[in-house]
């Protein structure tokens, strides 16, 4: 039985989208991602946006070949275990095999940032958005990195990109207002 959130999301989309389709061609993957990202842009509520974000993240995380998926899952496990060097290596290997997979760059950026390589993390996030200009997760990560450095203008600019792509991201408007206040000193 579908959860109420899933039924609402499917009703909004007007059709059922498989979260992860096995043996997708690159064109099928791109079409599915585009459809979900278009729906995200026009999501009527934070609840629906959150559900769509989850589907998109899952799709992005499973968009590679079996070898790439093995490297990605191993990299995520190593990232979770605090083995940053190993995670960086596995995500890097995934990028070598699938250089257009934005999710591999974003995951490597997280590992690099946690290892203290801020310039490397930022470079990876820039590569992610070059490959997927609507990668809201990359802009979100970039905003958090800037915020950690107290670069309020950078954090605000990156979060503005998140809101352009995903206007109803859960808690997004509140975060935008807070970053705007810190970056520009304006009342919101």
Q: What is the pLDDT of residue 77?
A: 97
DSSP 20: S
SS (H, E, C) 125-158: HHHHHHHCCCCHHHHHHHHHHHHHCCCHHHHHHH
For the chain, residues with pLDDT lower than 70 are 1-23, 186-188
Nearest to 177 by CA among 165, 163, 166, 136: 163
Instruction: Cite the DSSP H helix spans in 62-135.
Output: 66-81, 84-97, 102-114, 118-131
Q: What is the pLDDT of residue 7?
A: 42
Q: What is the pLDDT of residue 185?
A: 87
Q: What is the pLDDT of residue 187?
A: 57
Q: Report the chain's C-alpha Rg in angstroms.
A: 17
Whether the full predicted model's pTM is greater than 0.95, yes or no, is: no
Nearest to 10 by CA among 46, 48, 42, 38: 48
């Amino acid at each position: 039985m579908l959860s109420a959130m899933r039924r609402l999301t499917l009703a909004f989309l007007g059709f059922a989208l498989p979260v992860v389709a096995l043996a997708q061609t690159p064109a099928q993957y791109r079409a599915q991602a585009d459809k979900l990202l278009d729906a995200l842009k026009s999501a009527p509520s934070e609840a629906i946006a959150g559900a769509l974000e989850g589907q998109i993240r899952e799709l992005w995380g499973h968009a590679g070949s079996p070898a790439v998926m093995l490297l990605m899952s191993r990299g995520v496990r190593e990232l979770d275990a605090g083995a940053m060097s190993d995670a960086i290596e596995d995500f890097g290997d995934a990028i070598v095999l699938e250089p257009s997979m934005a999710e591999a760059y974003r995951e490597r950026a997280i590992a690099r940032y946690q290892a203290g390589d801020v310039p490397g993390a930022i470079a990876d996030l820039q590569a992610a958005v070059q490959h997927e200009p609507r990668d809201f997760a990359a802009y979100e990560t970039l905003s958090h990195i800037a915020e950690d450095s107290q670069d309020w203008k950078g954090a605000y600019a990156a979060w503005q990109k998140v809101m352009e792509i995903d206007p109803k991201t859960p808690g997004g408007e509140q975060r935008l207002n807070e970053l705007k206040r810190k970056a520009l000193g304006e009342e919101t």
